[in-house]
Structure 1
Amino acid sequence: MNYEEPLFFTVMQYAEAAERDVVDMVSGNPDWGAPDGVGEGLHDYAETGGEAFQYPPSDGLRELRERIATRRGVDTERVVVTNGGAMANTLGMARALERRSGDEVLLTDPVYPYYPGKAEMLDGTTRFVPVDEEGALDPADVRAAASDETACIVVNTPNNPTGRVYREETLRELAAVAEAHDALLVSDEVYDHFDFTGEFTSALAIDSEHVVVTNSFSKTYAITGFRVGYAILPKRDAPAARTRNMLTNVATSRPAQAAVLHALKTTDADYHEANRERLRERVDSFTAALDEAGAEYSTPEGAFYVLAKFPDYPGTMANVKRLVDEAGVAGMPGEAFGDARSEWLRFALVTPRVDAAAERLAEFF
């Protein structure tokens, strides 16, 4: 796999330059708006001034870390607030690689492409474990792939792009594989509020010194531009991660942290349930159109992506561009996510124009 070219931006730029109307289903930017607490928190912060406008603690505002820790049932000292979930994943993977002589990172196929990109950036080597046709990951396959060179196992649940929610037993077995090889399991749970099964389990449920959990408020509160995420690391690894965060990032935006903190205090469960219901309806309408188009497709258990395979239309960049030009729909090529779904296309259902996109695809195919 080659990750030197940022394919997400390539497709978005191509769609923006199109001479026709295009429904953007490329990136996971939620369209439903943030809860009121985010804006209220920003307004309140704007009135503080002075010292409150200076550097925050490098590992995050203490009150925000405490609230995250309480919600997640962990010690506050294990929490590092980061510049989005991307930085949280970088911290977890970097810590795994620097604490071991091995340099191997085990990843799923298909995979969110930034994971292997980060592994390569950190001088790691990548090895891929295919999932099954439904997106399920068999821990036995991970165990067979792991070796003394394995420093890190990275998983994402609910999963991008497959929509699969990994069950507790799967995560427990993956943690056992990490323990057997003195590696770290990095579980990216950024879509945890978009579980449609009711069976999502955080890897934090596993009592292990070999588990790192990463998350972000970008999707949870529809604030991808705020860049507030966090990593929860084992106690032995948190100090090193805090140091790396300081050296590479200095600190995360103070006003953004203040807004998130206020939202955590004021946002109730109804906000999240309304978003899940919105997505359930979009999945139903979009997959109905895929049925009409004669496509195979994934029905997500979580997150907000659908993979689709159209007859005689492989998921190449050339075909993505043709879809933009001729159908007015922009998705992602399956080849961007690895070999296992290279024949497929991925669509993000975070647009109010899902029905329009569905109609265009049904007509095109």
Structure 2
Amino acid sequence: MEYETPLFFRVMKYAADADRDVIDVVSGNPDWEPPAALRNGLREYADLEPDAFQYAPSVGLTELREEIATRRGVDVEQVIITNGTGEANYLAMARALERDRGDEILLTDPVYPYYPGKTTMLGGRQTFVATDADGQLDPAAVREAASEETAAIVVNSPNNPTGAIYPAETIRKLVAIAEEHDALLVSDEVYDHFDLEGRFASALEVESAHRIVTNGFSKSMAITGVRVGYAIFPHDLVENARSRHMLVNVSTTRPGQYAVLNALRETEPAYYERNRDLLRERVETFTDALDAVGAEYTTPQGAFYVMARFDGFPGTLENTYRLIDEAGVAGMPGEVFGESRREWLRFALVTPRIEEAAERLATYFG
């Protein structure tokens, strides 16, 4: 089986090779400072004894797992520390498929493209359920799509790419659908700290043996290069996930786990609120420019993405390259995220040049 390089990297390479200045609104790399306590943790780690630089326990540092378990209200034995949220999702989807309850993964449309990519890699097949114009998912549509072949329902809230946050009632109904079909709900909550409207509801609020929650610190602490995530499994599903994690990765970064633990213990809520305030300002700046040229767009309730549609300019890879060459703005083609948003482009508002990017788009489409 052959795998295609994700288009994110192709677009970023094209932008990097361009003959002009290009503003990157492709990648989801936060541009603000990580917590001071995280930097301090890394500095402390550099002076530890040699044994601290050897393998971490495969499931993760005990202290970090205990901290996460306490914060999330779960048993520490349910927590596996992973190589970012990406691996956490891989483990969750693999665990769903290896239960031999079916080979179908229900995904939303639009969808973060790594989910269908992982489905293919794991030997599953995708079925897509369309969301509405605001990115909301109707549980009735999920129930209609689900069948005895459904192994998992994979959702992401706050959502990439739409910025939608699913209300608590939607999450409860999705868990119930998973239970009805002996499937698993995989809830990717990596953007939970970027709830811009106070609406976020975790799947952990619903007690069930049919849900797995994944999360991490790449976005919330602005450390996408550190690679510390986690998955919370039901008790009866965690053992095989531990074994797969050990065989694939052995363990994840020990210094990174140490630093994240230090940041969790010492970072005040004000750090996260400042970043949310910054994003609210950027959303307003960016969408004001879209209003000025009559574009249709999504207003994110959470995360840090805006999808936009410009008349006569469908969201193809070719047009994405064209926007780089002619406007100096690198976004992502909507066709990457599914059939329903082929006319759209997605922009990540994690650059200090967001006002300039907005001005360039307004000039280009004005």
- Structure 1 length normalisation: TM-score? 0.99
Deviations, residues 202-254 of structure 1 (Å, cap 9, x unaligned): 00000100010000100010000000000000000111111110011100010
Question: 1:101 Cα shift?
Answer: 3.5
* Whole-angstrom distance in 2 between the partners of 1:288 and 1:13: 29
Query: Partner residue of 1:344?
Result: 344
1:191/1:20 CA distance change after superposition, 3 Å: same
Query: Partner residue of 2:317?
Result: 317
Query: Partner residue of 1:78?
Result: 78
SS in 2 for 1:173: helix
For the Cα contact (< 8 Å) 1:25–1:351, is it kept in 2?
yes
Query: Partner residue of 1:271?
Result: 271
SS in 2 for 1:289: helix
Query: Partner residue of 2:158?
Result: 158
Q: Indicate yes or no: 2:200 matched with 1:200.
A: yes
Question: 1:100 Cα shift?
Answer: 2.3
Q: Any gaps of 5 or more consecutive residues in structure 1?
A: none
Query: Partner residue of 2:356?
Result: 356
1:276/1:3 CA distance change after superposition, 3 Å: farther
For the Cα contact (< 8 Å) 2:297–2:307, is it kept in 1?
yes
Query: Partner residue of 1:16?
Result: 16
SS in 2 for 1:340: helix
Query: Partner residue of 1:99?
Result: 99
* Whole-angstrom distance in 1 between the partners of 2:52 and 2:359: 50
Matches within 5 A, 1:122-271: 122-271=122-271
* Whole-angstrom distance in 1 between the partners of 2:314 and 2:172: 36
For the Cα contact (< 8 Å) 1:107–1:153, is it kept in 2?
yes
SS in 1 for 2:142: helix
Deviations, residues 117-136 of structure 1 (Å, cap 9, x unaligned): 00000000100000011111
* Whole-angstrom distance in 2 between the partners of 1:197 and 1:243: 39
SS in 1 for 2:236: coil
Deviations, residues 315-356 of structure 1 (Å, cap 9, x unaligned): 000100010000000000000001010100000000000000
For the Cα contact (< 8 Å) 2:101–2:182, is it kept in 1?
no
SS in 1 for 2:111: coil
Question: 1:5 Cα shift?
Answer: 3.5
Deviations, residues 237-296 of structure 1 (Å, cap 9, x unaligned): 111111110011100010011110110111010000000000000000000000112100
For the Cα contact (< 8 Å) 1:163–1:302, is it kept in 2?
yes
Query: Partner residue of 2:108?
Result: 108
Q: Any gaps of 5 or more consecutive residues in structure 2?
A: none
For the Cα contact (< 8 Å) 1:158–1:165, is it kept in 2?
yes
* Whole-angstrom distance in 1 between the partners of 2:101 and 2:300: 38
Point out the more displaced range, 44-53 or 179-188: 44-53
Superposed CA RMSD in Å reads 0.9
Give the aligned residue type for 2:354: V
* Whole-angstrom distance in 2 between the partners of 1:137 and 1:352: 32
Give the aligned residue type for 1:225: G
1:219/1:33 CA distance change after superposition, 3 Å: same
* Whole-angstrom distance in 2 between the partners of 1:48 and 1:190: 30
SS in 1 for 2:200: coil
* Whole-angstrom distance in 2 between the partners of 1:199 and 1:363: 35
SS in 2 for 1:64: helix
SS in 2 for 1:307: strand
* Whole-angstrom distance in 1 between the partners of 2:344 and 2:33: 30
- Structure 2 length normalisation: TM-score? 0.98
Give the aligned residue type for 1:180: E
Give the aligned residue type for 2:22: V
SS in 2 for 1:236: helix
Question: 1:53 Cα shift?
Answer: 1.2
For the Cα contact (< 8 Å) 1:297–1:308, is it kept in 2?
yes
* Whole-angstrom distance in 1 between the partners of 2:7 and 2:260: 30
Question: 1:49 Cα shift?
Answer: 2.2
Deviations, residues 142-168 of structure 1 (Å, cap 9, x unaligned): 000000000010000000001000011
For the Cα contact (< 8 Å) 1:88–1:215, is it kept in 2?
yes
Question: 1:199 Cα shift?
Answer: 1.4
* Whole-angstrom distance in 2 between the partners of 1:124 and 1:160: 22
Query: Partner residue of 1:67?
Result: 67
Question: 1:3 Cα shift?
Answer: 6.9
1:349/1:3 CA distance change after superposition, 3 Å: farther
* Whole-angstrom distance in 2 between the partners of 1:230 and 1:86: 9
* Whole-angstrom distance in 2 between the partners of 1:29 and 1:234: 31
* Whole-angstrom distance in 2 between the partners of 1:27 and 1:321: 15
For the Cα contact (< 8 Å) 1:3–1:113, is it kept in 2?
no
Give the aligned residue type for 2:186: V
* Whole-angstrom distance in 1 between the partners of 2:101 and 2:202: 28
Identity of aligned residues (%): 65
Give the aligned residue type for 2:25: M
Query: Partner residue of 2:303?
Result: 303
* Whole-angstrom distance in 2 between the partners of 1:162 and 1:207: 27
